[in-house]
Amino acid sequence: MKDIEIKNRIEKLKDEISRLRFAYHVENDPNVTDDVYESLTRELKNLEEKYPEFADINSGVNRVAGEPLPKFSKVTHDSRMLSLNDAFSKDEVLEWKKRISKLINKKYSYFAELKMDGLAVSLIYQDGVFVRGATRGDGWIGEDITENLKMINTIPLKLNGNFPGTFEVRGEAVMPKRALAGINKIRIENGEISFANTRNAAAGSLRQLDPQIVKDRHLDFFAWDLAQYDDMDIKTHSEKHGILKKMGFTLAPYDKKSDTLEEIFNFIDEVEKVRPNLPYGTDGIVITVDQNELQEVIGVVGKAPRYSVAFKYPAEKSTTTVLDITVNVGRTGVLTPLAHFTPTLVAGSTVSKATLHNMDQIERLDIRIGDTVVIQKAGDVIPEVVEVLVGMRTGKEKKFKMPESCPVCNAGVEKRDTSENQSSSRKSIIESRKSPRRDGLAERGREGDPRTSMRGAFPAEDKRTSVAFYCTNKNCPAKNQRAMQHFVNAYEIYEIGPKILDRLKEEGLISDAADLFALEKADLSGLERFGEKSADNIISSIESHKKVELWRFIYALGILHVGEQTSHDIADHFETLEKIQKASLEEINNIENIGPAVSESIYNYFTHTENIHFIEKLFANGVTIYKQKTNSKKLSGMT
């Protein structure tokens, strides 16, 4: 064939394959059999390889994985990627409606769509070509995973149609259930730990530095928002979905637009019937006010849009037997009981333990060692004990009692009233008659502060309780270790895990998190099992995290009751660390969403000499705080 004929043939093949892909992935209406489609793609691939001068890297048929990356670089989102508030019943959805109805006096409609269970990502297109993809991260700053996302066949490398300018598409990278089953089979055969669910598998795959791994795992992508669009007048969220479909994106298989919540509730019920048989993991229905102009009026609170809510289906439940109840010591010294039970399958993953939060929870449910209990996953994620089957008791069950001494250091345990309406803590000391033990650490687990999130690296906002027990030893090894773990997680220094922290402390290189920023390559390269490359990676990661936003700096300090969102609230209000340090208790208490107990905790932290010295040590070792983006910027997108 002549060059012009070859070029024309390639163009024809590209157009036809693009049309067939659109019909298959977007319209769910395949026009030809798989073997016909594969024959066309094979011909195009062969022609592009034989005549590279006519090849188009965005044709999609030659998605070749590049070399593994040394690390992911950080990217800043143009508008914050938001999270969603959950509603665990239809009554809670009705309460959401009441709240937003007070903010607007115009008629509005709803748009409901399936909430896919995966990893939220952002895709940037310039003049129709995919140029960058990133994770959600903390909402403002994510990681550049462009090369990995190019390996997902349902992410168009070039948009269908003519779309000049810049567009940002947000959606969910997911792993099909069938693919998960196959991958886990291979992992088990290789002696590796299997993925707990499709969400973990998708997130774990995209965190790989080798794009070939992503390609081999056959992820998919479902678009749910058009966050940036040049020169287009788009009035509704449902209209965005129509445009996304025209662009060539796959949308969630079920959605519903309606003027009434009654119809939305019917839609929720219909989806619930088919949900178990869907090829992908799902964790609810997202309900959104459809009109974009009203979304602007309703606005955002914290990191969640008020104009949307995520309805979560009732969690799948299972029964099991409580084998033991142990105690973890958290970074603030709080003692958190942890139930261990016979491994059981719940919502697609095997569960063998769950936090019981505090003694109030244990007494309310009357949980005993040996009990048969009902467990579920809150929001399909966090395992929790919801009921004791009292009728199954044999009389051999044992009541749990909180230890009178710290299980790690044997120091006295302090009982505190931590009710939110208490302006000061009432305390009673249980002094231990034993000498402090130094021969080992308690079993490692998630931070004990009374509740943590299993969904991400950061602990969730602390769950308020009326009574909590605390280790009184400020030098308790468990408190110190958990505080350092929390610090590196908050800073997202992923190269430093618990084992490395243990090793650095054992070698006398660090005594607290501030010492990390004084480490040099020579300190590590001489240690056994620390190669030069490993030392380089750790030091490089530490150096790259010396400059930090104010909210993250506050969060990393591990202040009692201060989680990620509260840290944002404090930073947004005061804007500088100096203002926070000088703030009165009354000034802190006047911040929206912060109550008396939290205010007192913040005030006490910044007036404590030991904490002041720790902050000074951070600055002396090179840590700096830079001005953060504020919430006044346009916010968009949700997960």
Report the CATH number at residue 50: 1.10.287.610
Q: Are residues 302 and 248 in the same domain?
A: yes
pTM, to two decimals? 0.58
Same domain, 129 and 178: yes
- Of residues 332 and 148, the one with the higher pLDDT is 148
* pLDDT tens sequence across 229-277: 988 899 999 999 999 999 999 999 999 999 999 999 999 999 999 998 8
In this structure, the answer to whether residues 212 and 264 fall within a common structural domain is yes
226 and 258 together in one domain: yes
- Is the pLDDT confidence value at 31 over 70? no
Handedness of CA 176, 179, 185, 189 (dihedral sign): negative
- Which of 2, 45, 50, 115 is catalytic? The answer is 115
> Could you tell me if 46 and 114 lie in one domain?
no
Q: Which residue, 279, 310, 341, sits at the end of a domain?
A: 310
Q: Where are the alpha helices (DSSP H) in 326-476?
A: 359-365
Domain that holds residue 42: 3-54
Instruction: Check whether residue 81 and residue 22 sit in a common domain.
Output: no
The answer on 235 and 288 residing in a single domain is: yes
Q: Mind listing the pLDDT tens digit for each residue in 478-522?
A: 888 999 999 999 998 988 988 899 889 888 899 999 999 999 988
Establish if 370 belongs to a structural domain: no
- Show which of 268, 289, 310 is a domain's final residue: 310
The answer to whether 370 and 322 are in contact (CB under 8 A) is: yes
Domain count, the chain: 3
- Render pLDDT for 206-219 as a digit per residue (tens, 0 to 9): 988 889 999 999 99
Q: Is residue 296 part of a domain?
A: yes
Assess whether 153 and 38 both reside in one domain. Answer: no
| Together in a domain, 78 and 173 | yes
Q: Is 277 exposed, middle or buried (0-12, 13-18, 19+ CB in 10 A)?
A: exposed
In this prediction, residue 537 carries a pLDDT of 87
602-633 pLDDT per residue, tens? 999 999 999 999 999 999 999 999 875 544 33
pLDDT band at residue 430 under the 50/70/90 scheme: very low
Query: Given pLDDT bands bounded at 50, 70 and 90, which one contains residue 49?
Result: confident
Whether residue 139 is found in the same domain as residue 234: yes
Q: For residue 525, is it within any domain?
A: no
Please report the pLDDT score of residue 32 as a whole number: 60
Q: What is the pLDDT of residues 95-153, one digit of tens each?
A: 999 999 999 989 999 999 999 999 999 999 999 999 999 999 888 899 999 999 999 99
Rounded mean pLDDT of 70-78?
A: 87
Tell whether 163 and 46 lie within a shared domain: no
Query: What pLDDT, on a 0 to 100 scale, did the predictor assign at position 527?
Result: 80
Task: Look at residue 428 in the predicted model and tell me its pLDDT.
Answer: 36
The CATH number of whichever domain residue 574 belongs to comes to 1.10.150.20
Indicate the pairing of strand 317-329 with strand 335-346.
Answer: antiparallel
Query: Strand pairing of 398-399 and 368-369?
Result: antiparallel
Q: Is 416 within a domain?
A: no
Mean pLDDT of 60-79: 70
- The amino acid occupying position 60 is G
Average pLDDT over residues 464-487: 84
Q: Is 513 part of a structural domain of the chain?
A: no
Q: Does residue 565 fall inside a structural domain?
A: yes
- Is 90 a known active-site residue? no
Tell me: pLDDT of 154 over 50.
yes
The answer to whether the Cα torsion of 405, 408, 410, 413 is positive or negative is: negative
Q: Residue 376 falls within a domain, yes or no?
A: no
The CATH number of whichever domain residue 282 belongs to comes to 3.30.470.30
Does residue 13 share a domain with residue 78?
no
Is residue 220 in a domain? yes
Q: Which long-range contacts (CB under 8 A, 24 or more apart) does 264-268 make?
A: 264/93, 264/110, 264/112, 265/90, 265/93, 267/112, 268/90, 268/112, 268/311
pLDDT digits (tens, 9 = 90+) for 11-23: 877 777 777 766 6
